Amino acid sequence: MLIESAAPLIATAATLIGLAAAVHALFNKRDPRSALSWCAVCLMAPFIGALLYGLFGINRVVKRVRRLQLGERRAPQPQDGLSPTEHEQIGHLAGLIQLSAALQQWPLTEGNRVTPLHNGEAAYPDMLAAIEQARIRISLGAYIFDGDGVGLEFIEALVDAARRGVDVRVLIDGVGAWYSWPRATGRLRRRGVPVRVFAPPKLLPPTLQINLRNHRKILVTDGEIGFAGGLNIGDRHRVATGSGQADVHFRFEGPVVGQLEEVFFEDWERAGGSRYYPLAVQPEPLPNQDARCRVLTDSPSEDMDKLTVVMIGAIALARQRVLIMNPYFLPPRELIGALVSAALRGVEVAIILPARSNLPFVHWATRNMLWEVLRWGVKVYYQPEPFNHSKLFVVDEDYVQVGSANLDPRSLRLNFELMVEVFDRELAHGLAAHCLAARGRSREVTLDEVDGRAFSERLRDAIAWLFSPYL
């Protein structure tokens, strides 16, 4: 009897909760499709819909930053600061510098050295050597920090650095921290290394947010040497093991290293860490180094869609070639349009993807939309194993973007990502050659192949594609 009398009150409360959640989605979601979907879920199943929206739909990551300094650095930069000679050197892509300057908070820096490091076999020894040689500060941010052989090597190196008086700080994503057991966070803390976890899911108080991950990979030592790219820390990126993932990481030297460390400390502060303090000596431009670099950040906060806009601008300025190597390909429609437009005006556009993905649902969803680019002359290639985790974007062998971002909704809208744009013909030429060599080993995907899929495959791929905004 009591339950029956309370039923109308429960129903009314659930309806009000669902309505409140729908209004919140209406006011806060930027994508009308996302807003419409959440409104429908919250109104059709008020209590369950509101619960799901609370877990997956709300951006709870509060940006804890130095407001005054960040405001000064984020001021628009209408002038690119290039001399007529420098304009001539950069050529038709000079307009891209002004586009990035208007969107991003950091200036374009000169006198940098950028060194590609292929796979964990090349990257990990260089990173460990930098940690072992550090004397002042080590800033390490990782999405995944495994507790296997490589992870243990890094833990030992970080512990040794802390014992010799180096200011060591380690930031690990709250979901990525659970990819291995025992977790690296506990091992580091027990041995005296300061660790912060970015937006960790918790039961008490309930914060089960699995979106809004910090997918950036950053290592900076003494403010002089920086590393960024796609490598997590673990044996998974040692290709020689037979089950490892191929990738390209990058070592940076020069003024851009200071930008990498500032990004790390913004994330460190978000995770409750102490404020950033600059070192007494900041990295100076290196002599006889031509790489011009700028950090590009993308996140669900005020940086949303900025990386996409810069990529679209670069594709629009391309004259000969656009090469994309990425593990996942579910780009926003604006980026699809830019790629198709470039192909239709005679630019060679090649997208190089793994033949076998580590995330089958993403691969299926991609298969469902490939016809949109294939029918207009964009070339798509499937690389043989090992699974390639590289994120490379090369335009005309003059301009590259390297870093952590995948070409999917999770990276471009839900994650905190970091890319570095580099104007350097030598680096671009080398990475273009790397992409073309991979293409030579790959199989071209044709429109007939995509259109000729069996009904069961088409149905599977289409259903996966429906969930592509959350893959």
Do 403 and 375 lie in one domain? The reply is yes
Query: Is residue 300 a part of any domain in this protein?
Result: no
The domain boundary, picked from 291, 326, 355, lies at 291
CATH of the domain at 459: 3.30.870.10
Query: Is residue 382 a part of any domain in this protein?
Result: yes
Return the pLDDT at 52: 79
- Please, are residues 386 and 244 in contact by the beta-carbon 8 Å criterion? yes
Do 155 and 200 lie in one domain? The reply is yes
Do 45 and 138 lie in one domain? The reply is no
Instruction: Please report which confidence band the pLDDT of residue 445 belongs to, taking 50, 70 and 90 as the band edges.
Output: very high
Which H helix or E strand runs over 67? helix 67-73
DSSP notation for 173-213: ETTGGGGSSS-HHHHHHHTT--EEEES--BTTTTB---SS-
Percent of the chain beyond pLDDT 70?
88
Query: When comparing pLDDT for 63 and 32, which is higher?
Result: 32
Three-class DSSP category at 27: helix
Return the pLDDT at 79: 46
CA distance 245 to 387: 5
User: CB within 8 A of 89, min separation 6: which ones?
Assistant: none
Query: Is residue 138 a part of any domain in this protein?
Result: yes
At residue 189, does pLDDT exceed 90?
A: yes
Do 276 and 319 lie in one domain? The reply is no
Return the pLDDT at 72: 38
Q: What is the mean pLDDT of residues 141-161?
A: 96
Instruction: Please report which confidence band the pLDDT of residue 345 belongs to, taking 50, 70 and 90 as the band edges.
Output: very high
At residue 220, does pLDDT exceed 90?
A: yes
CA distance 6 to 55: 27
Return the pLDDT at 206: 61
Instruction: Please report which confidence band the pLDDT of residue 59 belongs to, taking 50, 70 and 90 as the band edges.
Output: low
CA distance 219 to 260: 8
CA distance 424 to 400: 8
Lowest model confidence (mean pLDDT) among 30-34, 119-123, 150-154, 167-171: 30-34
Query: Is residue 94 a part of any domain in this protein?
Result: no
Do 220 and 314 lie in one domain? The reply is no
The domain boundary, picked from 57, 75, 91, lies at 57
Greatest pairwise CA separation for the chain in angstroms: 86
Structure tokens at 452: 């000729």
Place of tokens 């495994």: 146
Average pLDDT over all residues of the chain:
88
User: CB within 8 A of 228, min separation 6: which ones?
Assistant: 216, 217, 218, 219, 249, 250, 252, 260, 402, 403, 404, 418, 420
CA distance 173 to 427: 30
Query: Is residue 63 a part of any domain in this protein?
Result: no
Q: Of 112, 83, 94, 75, nearest to 402 (Cα)?
A: 112
Do 357 and 267 lie in one domain? The reply is no
CA distance 340 to 318: 12
Do 251 and 332 lie in one domain? The reply is no
Residues spanned by the domain of 372: 306-470
- Please, are residues 384 and 442 in contact by the beta-carbon 8 Å criterion? yes
Query: Is residue 196 a part of any domain in this protein?
Result: yes
Q: Of 460, 452, 435, nearest to 381 (Cα)?
A: 435
The domain boundary, picked from 291, 319, 343, lies at 291
Structure tokens at 469: 């905004």
Counting every residue, how long is the chain? 471
- Please, are residues 233 and 144 in contact by the beta-carbon 8 Å criterion? yes
Do 335 and 260 lie in one domain? The reply is no
CA distances from 352 to 72, 112, 116, 340 (A): 39, 28, 18, 16
CA distance 380 to 249: 23
Do 273 and 347 lie in one domain? The reply is no
Do 323 and 444 lie in one domain? The reply is yes
User: What's the domain count of the chain?
Assistant: 3
Return the pLDDT at 30: 67
Side-chain half-sphere of 91: how many Cα atoms within 13 Å? 13
CA distance 332 to 373: 12
Do 134 and 185 lie in one domain? The reply is yes
Query: Is residue 321 a part of any domain in this protein?
Result: yes
Which H helix or E strand runs over 250? strand 248-253
Angle between helices 32-44 and 2-28 (to 10 degrees): 170
Query: Is residue 465 a part of any domain in this protein?
Result: yes
- Please, are residues 213 and 176 in contact by the beta-carbon 8 Å criterion? yes
Q: Of 95, 73, 69, 72, nearest to 82 (Cα)?
A: 95
Q: What is the mean pLDDT of residues 434-438?
A: 98
Do 123 and 49 lie in one domain? The reply is no
